[in-house]
Amino acid sequence: MEHRLVCIRTNGMPTSLETAELLKAKLITSGFEVTEEFTDRAELLVSIGGDGATLDAIHQYDFPTMPIVGINTGHLGFFQEFHPEELDEFIFNYKEGHYSTQELVTVQAKVTTADDSEVIHTGLNEVVIRGSLSYSTHLNISIGDSFIERFSGDGILIASPAGSTAYNYSVGGSIVDPRLNLLQVTPIAPMNTTAYRSFTSSVLLPSDLTLGIVPEYTRNDSTYILTDGKETLYHNLKRITVGFSDKIIKLIRFESYDFWNKVKTKFL
């Protein structure tokens, strides 16, 4: 008989570790093999924690290609599909193939540094570009081949559909159904005066367009790039190109999963 290997990762919290132990025992009883070390041979990655834990898992394992299922022991749990009380239900439905796979596109920023090397940052939720905290930042922004605006404000956020409900939503962006393939560019505290002019709402871009960003250094040469909440500081970077990445994240969903119902239960 072929071995069906499942990888379990937790955020290290006591309830998550307990849930992992219980799940491991139940999976083994149901004929699966379990590993706590990541391997490409696993057919499924179980992420126990909240959304933050699932984002950490995705980054730690460099955007794994196998499906991921989240068990929510965290707070919001938008990516998470099961509660710790539903382990039997999860294993039964998974074994029977009673689930759907939600494919989530990801966003990437290609940074051209001061010495002309290139660094790529990938996010499942978003990429944020901002200056150092207390100064406004000035960014020359083009879409495709057209120069659009000199943005001035705290920064700009480029959200994937999956990330539209996270930071993007807090700064006034729209919630996007993940079946739509688009990037949402949301300004963070844009200035809009006779001195500075920028779009004040989000703009939506199709999957084949990229956004070009060239910072203008006024007070200092710092630029922060954040992907899914983790920041990297650059000095004198030359250019950032933001677009879709070719990495796709697959999430396991119950057959009853409905995106808008999830939005309603988590937000309203």
> Given the rule CB under 6 A, which residues bind ligand NAP?
50-52, 55, 74-78, 125-126, 162-163, 165-167, 170, 228-229
Catalytic residue among 40, 51, 116, 208: 51
**Residue ranges with strand state E in 154-218:** 155-159, 182-188, 203-206, 211-216
The option from ligand NAP, Mn ion, none interacting with 167 (CB < 5 to 8 A, set by class) reads: ligand NAP
Smallest gap from Cβ 132 to ligand NAP, in A, equals: 16
Residue 169 Cα distances to 47, 54, 121, angstroms: 24, 19, 21
> In 10 A of CB 258, how many CB atoms?
11
Distance CA 104, CA 68 (A): 11
Q: What residues from 49 to 108 belong to the interface with Mn ion (CB under 5 A)?
A: 50, 52
Binding of residue 229 to Mn ion (CB under 5 A): no
Nearer to Mn ion, 80 or 137 (CB): 80
Smallest gap from Cβ 52 to Mn ion, in A, equals: 3
> In 10 A of CB 150, how many CB atoms?
14
Tell me whether residue 145 is one of the annotated catalytic residues. no
Contact call for residues 181 and 105 (beta carbons, < 8 A):
yes
Distance CA 51, CA 228 (A): 10
Stretch near Mn ion under the rule CB under 5 A, chosen from 11-19, 26-34, 42-50, 185-193: 42-50
Q: Which residue numbers are catalytic?
A: 51
**Residues making contact with Mn ion (CB under 5 A):** 50, 52
